[in-house]
Each structure stands twice: as structure tokens, then as C-alpha cells.
Amino acid sequence: MARPERDGTSRVRNLARPLQVIGRRQAGRAVVPEDAQDRRREIVHNGLRWIDIQNATQADIDELGAEFDFHPLVLDDVLSRVQRPKLDNYERYLFIVMHFPRFNTRERIAITKEVDFFLGPDYVITVHNGELPPLQNFWTSVAENLDLRAEYMGGSAELLLYHILDRLTNYLFPMMTRIDKNLDQLDERIFHGNASRAVRDVGDYRRDLISLRRIIRPDMLVVSQLENGRAALLSEEMQPYWSDIADHFTRVWDMLAEFKEEVESLDDTFNTLYSYRTNETLRALTLISVILLPLTLISGIYGMNVKLPFDGQEGSLATFTAIVTFMVVIASTMLFFFRRKGWW
């Protein structure tokens, strides 16, 4: 059900916008307002507008609200740093929030990058922080190449939104390739490499997969809403395209599930392997201890400051017997105590 919008009084503010903000829009020309410091840029082709805003400020958002009469709650959501992926259906536009991963090489984990979309009858607006390479590259190619502009902006606004999301979702597959390669290296490292590094890598890869699954899962629900066409602006002809996007996300999700199982298997293999190696080490140390134990016992007894038999002096056999008996009683008492406690 579409949400109600504000009344038409807010459109008066549109007339009061500075003329330089309106820009020089011409058919088939990319326009960047001079006073926006490259935050807002725009491409127009055959009446279809793609407005892209990077690192939006309050002034940028107020400008959008004045020009397109967006709901105040939507504008607040754009500036909010904590937003879950969602699709809001209004009478004349859709507001979509989606998250995409960006790998942080220093932290060795995928971090969330938000992109906000406005879909109207003749416009698509993207708001983001400028840190997603596929979105940046796609904008550049459409802005600089007239043939690509005609290809991607020659249809409806909904089709343009599909192309943008298609580029963003295709960006996920190189990340899956990176994870697959890292897991192959981890497998080799577990059996032939540094144990301490293997432990750290298992923890890092597991954390990375958890982060990716947390990012991807909510996006799948948004794409499912687009696929089901539960909005007046969504046409039935576009449902196969949204099904294609949904298929991309499903494939990525399945790959993440496989990687999760592989990491868990490698972790189990690592624990089993190093438990076996630890047991082998303890076995060798136990063998050495057993060999040295009689020697230690003899040297301990004859190291006493007591005359004992067989030490070249006239030692007392009774003293020797008493010492050995006392040692046997202590050992027997300890064995009995250990058995009562279930320790042996």
C-alpha cells in the first residue's frame, strides 16, 4: 500500500532554489552543478534523469526534498547512519535502502556501504559515500560514452535502476573468488605452513563470512519485494529482470553457505591435526620421563645424607628398607586418592 505524501505547498520551495542548482540540463548531457563541489552530478538522456549524490550534506538533502517533494521521514533516513535495507512505497516514487560489502584490507573484513535509491517515473537518484567502485565506474562509463548512455538510459527509469543494481551485485562475485582463493591457501597452510598464522586466518575468514552474510541477507528481502512487483511504479515487464538480480543474490548466498561449511571443516581439520601433533609430542616427552624416572629415583635415594647399603660404606639395610617402604606408602596413598576422585 502506497504511503501518503505531503501536500503541494512544499513545491513552492522548488521555485526558490538557486538558479545554479537547477543546472544546465540538456538531453543527452551530463550535468554537474558548480556549487556542489562534485557532490551532486546528473545525467539526462531522452527525458530520463540519473542524479548521483556523494557524501550528501543536509543542504543536498533539503534540495532533493524541495525539487521532488520527498517525504521528510525519507530525507531523514538518507542522512541516518544506521539503516537496514528496506523498500518504502510512496504514491509517486520508491525509496530503497540497500547495503553492499567493501573489503577492508587493513581489518581483513567486509564492511557495509549503504546506497539509497529514489525511483520515480522519469528519474533515478542514488545517494552514497562514493566508496563503491562498481557504482563509480558505471557512472563514469555512462557519462562519458554516448553509446552506453543510449543503451542504459534509453528505456525506463526502472530499467536504469536494474542496470545499476546489476553492476553492484556482479561486484559480489569477484569477492567470492577472493574468498575461494584464500580458503585454498588456508588449506595448504594448515598442512604445510605456519600454525599460528593458520589459526589467525581461520578466525579472520570466519569473521569475514559472518559480516558478508549479515550484509547480503537483508538485501535479498528487498530484491524479493521488487521481484513481486508490490508497487505501482513497478511494471510486470521488469519482473524477469528483478528475478535475475534475485538469482545473483541467491547464488552469492549459496556460495557463502558453502564457504562457511568449508571454513568449519578446515577448522575441525586443523584442531584434529594439531591435537594429534600435540599428542605425539607428549608421547615423546612421556617416554623420556619414563626412561629418566628410575635413574632419578636411584640418584635421589643415594643422594641422601644417610649411610645406605651398596654405597661403599657400612650402611644399614633397615634404614634403606624404611626409606623405600615410606616412598611406596606415599605413592600408594596418592594412587588411591586419584582413583577415588576419578582422575585415573
Rounded Cα distance between 184 and 344, Å, is: 42
Per the domain annotation, does 141 fall within a domain? yes
Residue 3 counted as domain residue:
no
For residue 271, which amino acid is it?
N
Regarding whether 180 and 39 lie in a shared domain, the answer is: yes
Please give the pLDDT value at position 151. Answer: 92
- The answer as to whether 316 is a domain residue is yes
The residue-averaged pLDDT of 165-186 equals: 91
d(C-alpha 223, C-alpha 136), whole Å:
22
Q: What is the pLDDT of residues 252-274, one digit of tens each?
A: 999 999 999 988 888 888 787 77
Residue that finishes a domain, picked among 275, 294, 314: 275
One domain for residues 172 and 257: yes
pLDDT at 27 over 50: no
Mark out the alpha helices in the chain (DSSP H runs).
Answer: 12-15, 19-22, 58-68, 72-79, 133-144, 146-153, 157-170, 172-192, 195-228, 239-302, 317-341
Structurally, how many domains does the chain consist of?
Answer: 2
As a whole number, mean pLDDT of residues 311-339 equals 75
Rounded CA gap, 309 and 162, in Å? 98
**Does the residue 25 lie in any domain?**
yes
Which cell goes with 162? 536494474
**Are residue 271 and residue 308 in the same domain, yes or no?**
no
Q: What percent of the chain has pLDDT over 70?
A: 81
The helix (H) or strand (E) run that includes residue 305 is: none
Q: Is 210 left (phi over 0), alpha (psi -120 to 50) or beta?
A: alpha
pLDDT tops 60 at residue 26? no
Query: Are residues 221 and 134 located together in one domain of the fold?
Result: yes
Query: What's the mean per-residue pLDDT of the chain?
Result: 81
Strand order in the sheet with 40-45: 29-31, 40-45, 48-54, 123-128, 109-119, 94-104, 86-89
> Between vectors from CA 4 to CA 22 and to CA 1, what angle results, nearest 5°?
120
Q: pLDDT tens digits for 61-92?
A: 898 889 998 988 889 988 887 678 999 998 89
* Set of cell numbers at residue 241: 529482470
Together in a domain, 169 and 264? yes
* 174 is a domain residue: yes
Q: Are 56 and 77 in contact (CB under 8 A)?
A: no
Asked if pLDDT for residue 312 goes beyond 70, the answer is: no
Residue where a domain terminates, one of 234, 255, 275: 275
**Listed residues 275, 296, 330: the one ending a domain:** 275
Return the pLDDT at 50: 95
User: pLDDT value at position 18?
Assistant: 33
Judged against a pLDDT cut of 70, whether residue 276 lies above it is answered with yes
* Long-range interactions of 220-223: CB distance < 8 A, separation 24+: 220/246, 220/249, 220/250, 220/253, 221/85, 222/85, 222/86, 222/87, 222/96, 222/97, 222/98, 223/165, 223/249
With beta carbons less than 8 A apart as the criterion, state whether 243 and 227 touch. yes
92: its cell numbers: 509517486
Bigger pLDDT: 281 vs 15: 281
CA-to-CA dists, residue 118 to 89, 95, 96, 251, 323, angstroms: 10, 5, 6, 26, 92
pLDDT at 283: 82
pLDDT in tens, 182-207: 888 888 877 776 777 878 888 888 88
In a domain, residue 103? The reply is yes
Instruction: Tell me: do 199 and 341 sit in the same domain.
Output: no
Q: Please indicate, yes or no, if residue 286 is contained in any of the structural domains.
A: no
CA-based nearest residue to 85, from 115, 128, 57: 115
pLDDT digit string, tens, across residues 135-160 = 999 999 999 999 999 999 999 999 99
Same domain, residue pair 151 and 265: yes
Q: Which of 107-121, 202-216, 328-342 has the lowest mean pLDDT?
A: 328-342
Task: Check residue 295 and give its pLDDT.
Answer: 66
* Tens-place pLDDT, residues 33-52: 444 446 889 999 999 999 99
Q: Residue 39 has what pLDDT?
A: 81
Residues 102 and 188 in one domain: yes
Same-domain status, 234 and 343: no
- Identify whether residues 262 and 339 lie together within a single domain: no
CB atoms within 10 A of CB 3: 12
Range of the domain at 328: 304-344
Instruction: For residue 281, give Cα distances in angstroms to 189, 312, 316.
Output: 21, 41, 43
Q: Return the DSSP state at 107.
A: T
- Selection from 112, 170, 173 nearest residue 138 by Cα: 170
What is the value of pTM for the model shown?
A: 0.72
User: Above pLDDT 90, what percent of the chain?
Assistant: 35
Q: Could you tell me the CATH number of the domain that includes residue 77? A: 3.30.460.20
Mean pLDDT of 322-339: 80
In a domain, 281, yes or no: no
pLDDT of residue 311: 60
Comparing 80 with 338, which gets the higher pLDDT? Answer: 80
Residues 221 and 336 in one domain: no
- The answer to whether residues 219 and 313 belong to one domain is no
